[in-house]
């Protein structure tokens, strides 16, 4: 499988111009930042490997992308979760449904702490060094685009919301532009630790939040932002990371001095398959939105 260079489009949100790197459109089955992070495993011969083992949440985007990878590479896939709601088991949807269809073997319980020789363990959310390989390709696409557009290095500000921070960190590693992010899964301290674990310096800048959010919880402003984005840009963004990401990024841009001197690029990291179950929950909780 070969990726095409994902396109970069121009949008307006609340009268401000942004460019969007459409990594959500990389490929119909394998897209977003998980596809970038796992590209190494797709492209390289995994000598002697018969099974991939990972763990995380039961609706994770990484879980779905790993199921696609294992299907393509004809590998077995064991995925560990701490729990599986009986409602989801009986009414599969979103990432869970598609991963099961791809042959994922879901195991409820503790992740083993040792592995056989033919097993490859990938840590939660794809926070692995191999992610560098695919993210360098993403960085090169951004560099070529900026060159085509004659954008000076100091004029481009790139934003992407973080979970483990792996994508933002490696992008910063390969790019001469400012890379901004915000924490979505843990707090800012957690994100700094994640950065430190991968590299000691040259970290993305973490934009502060005005309010504390808990990952996976429903917030009315997230749903409103999601609907507003869809209405104004005609693009569907992910509800777990992008709604918060856009709230933080828009606020940053609004308060930036000489903002007309800069070009803003937002990386769309995919994940929309996970929206199905989130939208059901939001509609139920906020029926009048």
Chain residues binding ligand PLP by CB under 6 A are 32-34, 61, 125, 161-168, 238, 241, 269-271
Smallest separation (angstroms) from ligand PLP to the CB of 70: 18
Q: Which is nearer to ligand PLP, 141 or 238 (CB)?
A: 238
CB of 57 to ligand PLP, least distance (A): 11
Contact 164, 122 (CB under 8 A): no
C-alpha distance from residue 216 to each of 19, 132, 222 (Å): 27, 27, 11
Please check whether residue 266 is in contact with residue 19, taking contact to mean a CB–CB distance below 8 angstroms.
yes
Q: Which is nearer to ligand PLP, 19 or 163 (CB)?
A: 163
Closer CB to ligand PLP, 137 or 151, in the complex: 137
Shortest CB 147 distance to ligand PLP, Å: 25
The residue whose Cβ lies closest to ligand PLP is: 271
Pairing, β 156-159 against β 76-81:
unpaired
Annotated catalytic residue within 57, 60, 243, 277: 60
Q: Do 168 and 179 form a contact (C-beta atoms < 8 A)?
A: yes
Closest contact distance (angstroms) between CB of 47 and ligand PLP is 26
Nearer to ligand PLP, 111 or 171 (CB): 171
60 is annotated as an active-site residue? yes
Catalytic amino acids? 60
């Amino acid at each position: 499988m070969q990726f095409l260079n994902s396109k970069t489009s121009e949008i307006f949100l609340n009268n401000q111009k942004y460019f969007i790197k459409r990594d959500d459109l990389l490929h119909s089955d394998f897209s977003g930042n998980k596809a970038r992070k796992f590209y190494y495993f797709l492209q390289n011969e995994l000598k002697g490997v018969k099974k991939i083992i990972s763990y995380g949440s039961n609706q994770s985007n990484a879980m779905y992308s790993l199921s696609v990878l294992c299907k393509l590479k004809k590998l077995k896939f064991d995925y560990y979760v701490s729990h599986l709601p009986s409602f989801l088991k009986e009414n599969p949807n979103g990432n869970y449904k598609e991963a099961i269809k791809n042959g994922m073997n879901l195991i409820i319980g503790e992740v083993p702490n040792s592995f056989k020789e033919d097993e490859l363990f990938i840590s939660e959310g794809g926070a692995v060094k191999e992610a560098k390989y695919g993210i360098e390709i993403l960085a090169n696409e951004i560099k070529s685009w900026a060159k085509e557009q004659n954008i000076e290095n100091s004029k481009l500000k790139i934003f992407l919301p973080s979970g483990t921070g792996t994508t933002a960190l490696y992008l910063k590693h390969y790019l001469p532009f400012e890379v901004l992010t915000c924490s979505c899964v843990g707090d800012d301290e957690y994100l700094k630790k994640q950065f430190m674990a991968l590299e000691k310096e040259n970290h993305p800048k973490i934009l502060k939040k005005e309010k504390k959010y808990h990952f996976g919880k429903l917030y009315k402003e997230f749903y409103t932002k999601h609907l507003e984005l869809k209405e104004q840009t005609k693009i569907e963004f992910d509800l777990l990371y992008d709604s918060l990401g856009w709230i933080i990024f828009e606020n940053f841009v609004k308060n930036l001095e000489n903002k007309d001197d800069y070009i803003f690029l937002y990386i769309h990291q995919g994940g929309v398959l996970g929206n199905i179950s989130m939208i059901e929950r939001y509609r139920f909780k906020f029926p009048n939105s």
